[in-house]
A and B are shown apart, each in its own frame.
Chain A
């Protein structure tokens, strides 16, 4: 019996020591968005995110039929509105995505791909609190349709081709400097007959 108490005291002492180190570190260095969330934070956040999805959406299937045109429209929509944070390939390796806390996820991985259609839809429409993900839904049928098409595109992300990526690059929002660079590159790659040095 005494031995059990000793184990309990040791565990409590260990928790207090770890908590103290974390607390001292926080006081000394503050909080930074450069850090990676701890496993505990990630686990809590994913659980709460799951709870945040309305019950009637959790197992909902995508009501928009998948066609080539739907996918092309969603790809263009994503390149124009979402890629600035998520990257065209959805891997989160954008200038914005890498600096966020939590970092934008690699949506080609199981952590995202294993979510139901309804969960993905809810995240797009309602956003995720305490992250960089805004709620893009406006409550209209048009908004819902757009979000369901994006769910199709998220499912397609792991199979994105180089040609699709190249097309998306032309659709990404650009600064005047980036437009100038793109036009310069296009002019540089014109067929040799029409290319003069």
Chain B
């Protein structure tokens, strides 16, 4: 009975914890480093830096909402990164147009 209750409690706690996951956070900043795996370092507007990881599902957009390619992002590009769940992996990266 104790084991059963322990399993139920574990499931309940896991469900509650999962219920709080998944909030989307948005970060504005300038790309300072591009890594070979596509991840990048970002200097946020509050002056702090963060490492944004990317996944196959990460979407890249221009500021006007049109589709962009990851290769368009360079050091110095201003971006808005939406990060979810794990607090690291970018769901979407919206980038400012660069004047040549």
Q: Which residues of A contact B (CB under 8 A)?
A: 21, 25, 29, 32, 34-36, 93, 95, 98-99, 161-163, 165-167, 170, 181, 184-186, 188-193, 195
Contact = CB atoms under 8 A, between A and B. Distances in A.
Contact of B80 (A35, A36, A165, A189): A189
B28 A185 contact: yes
A190 B63 contact: yes
A190 B96 contact: yes
Given A34-B12, A98-B19, A186 B63 contact: yes
Interface residues of B, number: 28
A186 B12 CA distance: 41
B2 interface: no
A193 B99 CA distance: 7
B67 interface: yes
Contacts of A165: 59, 92
B38 interface: no
A189 to B, nearest CB: 4
Interface string B73-100: 0000011100000000000101111110
B71 interface: no
Contacts of A189: 63, 78-80, 94-96
Contacts of A98: 19, 22
A181 B24 CA distance: 13
Given A34-B12, A34-B15, 5 more contacts: A29-B12, A98-B19, A188-B78, A189-B80, A193-B99
A83 to B, nearest CB: 13
A122 B79 CA distance: 43
Interface of B: 4, 8, 12, 15-16, 19, 22-23, 26, 28, 45, 59-61, 63, 65-67, 78-80, 92, 94-99
Contacts of A21: 4
Contacts of B65: 163, 166-167, 170
B99 to A, nearest CB: 5
Contacts of B99: 191-193
A188 B15 contact: no
Given A95-B23, A165-B59, A192-B99, A36 B15 contact: yes
A9 to B, nearest CB: 22
Contacts of A167: 65
A172 to B, nearest CB: 12
Nearest to A187: B28
Contacts of B95: 189
